[in-house]
Amino acid sequence: MTAKPFLDTNVLIYAFAENDPRSQTAEALLAAGGVISIQVLNEFVNVSRRKLAREWAEIESAVEVLRALLDPPIPLTLDLHEIAVAHARDNGFAFHDALIVAAASRAGCGILYTEDMQHGKSLHGLTIRNPFV
């Protein structure tokens, strides 16, 4: 198991947000290092562009920072997809959340930082924590 946590998309978004009370916590988590997946990276780009209306140059610069601070992203594979289907079926997760859990487990992370799932829930050696509570 890796000592590095897995960071969900919301942590990345808040780390680059302006005037958000969660930014300081998110920046500290990002600076400490961690693991993400290609899904998280894709969601970060999508939210940055569509919801936050960021320019492409700003998004690309942020992605460069993420790639410098974090481990290489966990790829989306058929195997990961199948594990996520099982997590969604067995634990009642939304499928995209189940993909995050599967990627965090695949990376050997003990902690998943997210605000989108049940704080304190543990499964398969992974504990979900909401760093913004």
Residue-wise pLDDT tens digits, 55-97: 999 999 999 999 999 999 999 999 999 999 999 999 889 999 9
Structural domain includes residue 55 = yes
Tell me the C-alpha distance between 70 and 9, whole Å: 13
Q: What mean pLDDT, rounded, does the chain reach?
A: 94
Do the domain assignments include residue 1? Answer: no
Question: Pick from 70, 104, 113: which is nearest to 84 by CA?
Answer: 104
Residue ranges making up the domain that contains 108: 6-129
Structure tokens of 74?
């966990």
Q: Is the pLDDT of residue 1 over 80?
A: no
Any domain includes 21? yes
- Going by DSSP bridges, is the β-strand pair 126-129/111-113 parallel, antiparallel, or unpaired? parallel
The C-alpha atoms of residue 56 and residue 60 are separated, in whole angstroms, by: 6
d(CA 37, CA 52): 21
pLDDT score at 2: 60
Q: For the chain, how many structural domains are there in total?
A: 1
Q: Model-level pTM? A: 0.92
Question: What digits encode the pLDDT tens for the residues 108-128?
Answer: 999 999 998 888 888 878 999
Asked if 89 and 101 touch (Cβ cutoff 8 Å), the reply is no
Q: Which CATH number covers residue 121?
A: 3.40.50.1010
Domain membership flag for residue 118? yes
pLDDT at 7: 98
